[in-house]
Amino acid sequence: MRTMRWARHRRRTAELPEDVLTATWQAVSVLLEYPDAQSVQRFPAVRSVAQQLPPQIGQGLLRFLDDAQGLALPDLQCDYVDTFDVTRKCSLHLTYFTTGDTRRRGVALVEFKQAYRHAGVELTEESSELPDFLPVLLEFGAFTDRESAWKLLNAHRVGLELLHAALAKRESRWLPVVDALRATLPSLGDDDEAALRQLIASGPPSEEVGIDTSPYSVDPRLNPQPVPIQFGPPSTGVS
């Protein structure tokens, strides 16, 4: 798995230690990327990490890995595209759920870019993904600024729950991966539940405008020297 230095921030979840939160976000980031040959090569490292995580998190990740291992890579890739790139309600771009393809989305994307820039990393055009792409945000949170990523994840929690509901309806193999991420976040409040019901009923806004869709990714040249995550043996949990 990729290893980079990240800032240590005040813990925001009473249930999970910081190293478990970081390891989970790192693993989910890898598993929600497009499964090309390079990302699939990281699956054994993800399995090693998942075996050390609490059961409510690790078992779902292992279930996905067991399932994916039985598929040929082209079949896994086809399912990924059919799930995340074709189905609107399964988008991995968090701002899409509340803004759709409307003018408001450009403003929402700026929030992500500013958070990355404030943490000392820039966005480049080396990737095809926008800054609200969930694996990009989780990688940012795992390696660079956990606090900022935490705030963005919770600010867009309703969208994440809509993604979860859509994956559950499809009985998607990626559902346990999103469940693992949800296990690191607080429960929804009443207002979030109401907004979720409305989004499920109506779907994202569909006004199409000429927003800035140029690709972004965290530029690794601006990250400090990588530092590996240290894990204990599976029998003792994450150290």
Distance, in Å, from the CA atom of 67 to the CA atom of 80, rounded to the nearest integer, reads 13
Structure tokens at 214: 């140029």
What is the pTM assigned to this prediction?
Answer: 0.74
Distance, in Å, from the CA atom of 219 to the CA atom of 133, rounded to the nearest integer, reads 15
**Can you spell out the DSSP letters for the chain?**
------B------SSS-HHHHHHHHHHHHHHTS---HHHHTTHHHHHHHHTTS-HHHHHHHHHHHHHHHTS-HHHHHHHHIIIIIS-GGG-SBTTHHHHTTSHHHHHHHHHHHHHHHHTT--EESSSS--TTBHHHHHHHHHHTBHHHHHHHHHHTHHHHHHHHHHHHHHT-TTHHHHHHHHTTSPPP-HHHHHHHHHHHHH-S------------EE-GGGS----PPP---GGG---
Q: What is the mean pLDDT of each run of 10 residues along the chain (239 residues)?
A: 34 68 96 95 96 96 96 96 86 80 71 91 72 94 94 89 92 97 83 59 50 36 33 35
Q: What is the pLDDT of residue 187?
A: 77
Distance, in Å, from the CA atom of 154 to the CA atom of 160, rounded to the nearest integer, reads 9
Residue whose C-alpha is closest to residue 121's, from 219, 7, 6, 18: 219
Q: What is the pLDDT of residue 228?
A: 34
Q: What is the pLDDT of residue 21?
A: 94
Q: What is the pLDDT of residue 110?
A: 86
Q: What is the pLDDT of residue 206?
A: 53
